[in-house]
Chain A
Amino acid sequence: MAMLDLADKPETLAQGFAADKVQASAPDAVTGYRSFTLGAFRFSRDAYFATIQWPSRGQTRTHAIPADAFLRALMRDVAWGFFYGWVNFDHVFGTRNHYGKVDVYAGAFNGVMKEAGVDYTETFDTPLIMATFKAILHDWTNEGFDPFAAPEETGTAFGSKHGENGAAIERTRIATRRMPGLPDDSPLRDDLPVNRAFLDVPQDEPEVHVEPGFEGQLHAFNLFKYLSRSDVTWNPSVTSVCGQSLFCPTTEEFILPVFHGNDRVEWFLQLSDEIIWDIGDKNTGAPRARITARAGDICAMPADIRHQGYSTKRSMLLVWENATPNLPKRYESGELKPYPVEF
């Protein structure tokens, strides 16, 4: 398995801690699925849809998302530990990471719903929301459906409850300290098969000629080979660490299952093939731009937008993050402009 679940990852410890606080119903007599409560939110699913309910202006508000899209989005949010900033499942529902606490919102970043006052946000301690989201993922993911895979690679999410796929969803964001393949660092992927869409990618390794006395100090690997063997889609995983600068390449196919609004600037460098990015206003979702990136193209995602990528062929993308902890405040205060370079 490509993912590395480190024992010292905080959310891994946390989810065990809060597992007893998850509020789940008994399985529904017809569909077989449980429903879940998290604060004032209620989550349920049937053969086709995940349904989210919340209170606002004295009424219960309801939003439905196709079950496959919902589970793909939930999978990323869980695997990334709520990632950086806003993870919009769609134009209504999502989470915002405060690194220790997480906002869950409905309509709060939808211009029309926000103006109508039918939005709702509730903040949870990370362990509770993580435990609840993982429980939903486990209950609602059926045998044969891998929410981390592209549609052509996996079975259906639809229908009544049938089996489970715990192995597919027990993956987390890969943790690399310096570079994969070094002693005491994350492993290479020689044990994983080459993805069907990357069968033409050369698998040769760099030649490393070490002088006596320097064994283990020179290090190189074939990054494109490593990516060709990724068994998941849309999952940035760290491959080099320079201070707070993280190279997080990933392999992309179909649609990024979330509309990501970052609380900082990030950059994309297209390593192979082509991705189209839909860019919207971070707060309202209003369209701003559509970017086509081909091999060698590099561009910034400003801190005031949300983005969602489309990739027909499985493609290689370098996501570049600056993990400095105080950045969200510096962007929010206006100390830093939302875009990284003026020219």
Chain B
Amino acid sequence: MSTATHQTAQTAQTAHQTVFGSLARYRKGSIEVTQGSARHYVFSNIFEVAAHAAPYDKVVVGKNLEYVIETLRAEGVSPWYACAHDEFAVLMDGEVRVDLISLNEAPASGKGTVLAGAEPAGKPMGHIVLRQGHQCLLPAGCAYRFTALKPGVLLVQTILGALSIEKWSEICIK
């Protein structure tokens, strides 16, 4: 191999570009079916879902029995939420502030996210600022609220609850 060729190969190796999605820029994939139904793969794109959702609608994009992954369009200030078990949020686009309150009265045992009221009684624990790719713990028994100055996209790992919205036929490849 000549020196010039070798250098070209090395340059090519370091020129990797990682492609993340965003509300403004996503390219939904596809299914080529040989046998069976495309519906069985329950295929959607979270940026497309968030692009067509109202702020903080908890749209279910993944469901495994009682467990779910929800996509939320983060825009403006969310209600205060609470949960009897741990939940997790991953920010997929934008910048979101998460405020947390240690509740005087934790939510009764139950599954999924619940509303914590307009002014949850408890002590402020602090806040977290998430940017793309950041993950935070939403600890059991705390209240939390999202604030986004510009539209963004959140994933929430939780259990199917009263606030979860299922609209599979609107979001999935058929």
Contacts and interface: CB of A to CB of B under 8 A. Distances in A.
Interface of A: 152, 178-179, 182, 196-202, 204-211, 213-214, 217-225, 239-245, 247, 265-267, 269-274, 281, 286-302, 313-314, 316, 320, 322, 324, 336, 338-343
16 contacts: A202-B132, A204-B131, A218-B100, A221-B134, A224-B132, A225-B133, A242-B85, A243-B67, A273-B19, A291-B31, A297-B44, A297-B46, A299-B31, A338-B40, A339-B42, A343-B172
B37 to A, nearest CB: 8
A225 B133 CA distance: 8
B61 interface: yes
A240 B123 contact: no
A294 B27 CA distance: 7
Contacts of A290: 31-32, 34
Interface residues of B, number: 68
B64 A273 contact: no
Contacts of B34: 287-290
Contacts of B87: 242
Contacts of A293: 29
Nearest to B27: A294
A138 to B, nearest CB: 31
A340 B64 CA distance: 6
A224 B131 CA distance: 10
Contacts of A302: 40-41
B128 interface: yes
A85 B158 CA distance: 25
A59 B99 CA distance: 69
A288 B34 CA distance: 5
A298 B173 CA distance: 11
A160 B4 CA distance: 34
B67 A211 contact: no
Given A224-B133, A288-B36, A302-B40, A294 B21 contact: yes
Contacts of A296: 21, 26, 28, 45-48, 92
A293 B41 CA distance: 12
Given A196-B14, A196-B16, A291-B29, 6 more contacts: A199-B14, A208-B128, A223-B133, A243-B67, A295-B26, A336-B65
Contact of A265 (B31, B64, B130, B172): B64
Given A289-B41, A297-B45, A222 B133 contact: yes
A223 B127 CA distance: 18
A287 B137 contact: no
Contact of A219 (B42, B92, B136): B136
Contact of B45 (A178, A199, A265, A298): A298
A253 to B, nearest CB: 11
A336 B19 CA distance: 36
A242 B69 CA distance: 11
Nearest to A228: B18
Contact of A197 (B16, B35, B65): B16
A244 B66 CA distance: 10
A196 B18 CA distance: 11
B157 interface: yes
A341 to B, nearest CB: 5
Given A211-B123, A211-B126, A289-B36, A298 B69 contact: yes
A207 B42 contact: no
B3 interface: no
Contact of A300 (B47, B62, B123, B126): B62
Contacts of B39: 339, 342-343
Nearest to B17: A200
A245 to B, nearest CB: 4
B157 A201 contact: no
Contacts of B131: 202, 204, 206
Contacts of B56: none
Interface in B90-125: 90, 92, 100, 102, 123-125
A131 to B, nearest CB: 33
A267 B46 contact: no
B55 interface: no
A286 B62 contact: no
Given A239-B135, A322-B65, A207 B128 contact: yes
B54 interface: no
Contacts of B21: 294-296
Contact of B41 (A178, A272, A291): A291
Contact of B64 (A178, A199, A245, A281): A245
Contact of A220 (B92, B123, B130, B155): B130
Interface string B138-174: 0100000000000000010111000000001100100
B57 interface: no
